[in-house]
Amino acid sequence: MREFKLENEYPYNRRGPARWIISHTFRYPLLPLLTLLAAVINNYAYSYVQVFIGRAFDLINQLEWPNHDLWLLALGTFAAASTQGVLGLVRNYANEYAAQRIERDARDELYASLLGKSQTFHGKQRIGDVMARATNDVRSLNIMFSPGLMLILDASMGVIAPITLIAAMEPRLLLVPGLFLITLVITVTDYARRLNPVSDALREQFGAMNAGLAEAIAGVEVVKGHAQEEQELRKFA
């Protein structure tokens, strides 16, 4: 429970981790929309580069081919590659800017929450654990969005764009990519299932280590007085 709230505090949705992250993300709705739009166009532009190159090879394999058509394909390839490069920068910039904003807002929300707590609450907390939450855990939100979310979005669009183009050209060619996608989903799901407990345990251990370090530093005279230096050092060895 909090003793008071700031007058201008932004109302985030705290009914679950996913809703909380979504409410932070859509505080700046233009940034995720710009990131998504840029990622979609970027990947389709990259796919069309390959399409134009393939059409150029088909053209020059003919006995007679007009230079005008080859120039058009070259200009199309250049336009697609330029679009891919520019929108790749836009996607990266928008995503990084959103990640920095979300990290800042999450840290501001945490500090506002801590300021509103009673002295009784603070007396029951381990200062090192609170410090770990305020630094590394909040920083992890930034990393989750940039590069984490950006890589997931780019990888997803890197699959969707070629699949749709293949389906438009020749649906029978979807067999091999379809089998690959099925095995990929199974592998990634199993990997995430194995990784989640390890990741959670790592975060908890990091908080406990920070708390122990803060307590050891704060009580260094007591540690020295009881000749416990070696025991404390072994905790961090």
Model confidence over 192-230: pLDDT tens digits?
999 989 988 887 887 777 777 666 676 665 555 556 667
**Distances in whole angstroms, Cα of residue 128 to Cα of each of 72, 133, 196, 207:** 64, 9, 24, 7
Single out the residue of 147, 113, 139, 149 nearest to residue 22, CA to CA: 149
Q: Report, as an integer, the average pLDDT of 159-185.
A: 90
Q: Are residues 185 and 130 in the same domain?
A: no
pLDDT at position 218 is 67
CB 234 within 8 A of CB 150: no
Residue 187 has pLDDT above 90, yes or no: yes
Peptide bond into 147 cis (omega under 30): yes
Residues 6+ apart with CB under 8 A from 144: 99
Q: Are residues 121 and 155 in the same domain?
A: yes
Q: Are residues 31 and 109 in the same domain?
A: yes
DSSP summary character for residue 149: I
Model confidence over 41-86: pLDDT tens digits?
999 999 999 999 999 998 988 888 788 889 999 999 999 999 999 9
Q: Are residues 163 and 49 in the same domain?
A: yes
CATH code of the domain containing 101:
1.20.1560.10
pTM: 0.75
Q: Are residues 123 and 207 in the same domain?
A: no
- Measured from the Cβ of residue 199, the count of other Cβ atoms closer than 10 Å reads 11
Rounded CA separation 115/121 (Å): 11
DSSP summary character for residue 174: G
Q: Are residues 70 and 50 in the same domain?
A: yes
Q: Are residues 123 and 27 in the same domain?
A: yes
Cα 76 to chain centroid distance, Å, stands at 33
% of the chain residues with pLDDT over 70: 85
Q: Are residues 159 and 109 in the same domain?
A: yes
Model confidence over 18-48: pLDDT tens digits?
999 999 999 999 999 999 999 999 999 999 9
| Domain of residue 60, residue span | 1-169
Q: Are residues 151 and 217 in the same domain?
A: no
Question: Which of 109, 138, 169 represents a domain boundary (last residue)?
Answer: 169
CB 43 within 8 A of CB 161: yes
Q: Are residues 94 and 200 in the same domain?
A: no
Rounded CA separation 66/56 (Å): 11
pLDDT at position 46 is 93
pLDDT at position 123 is 74
Task: Copy the structure tokens of residue 112.
Answer: 């506002």
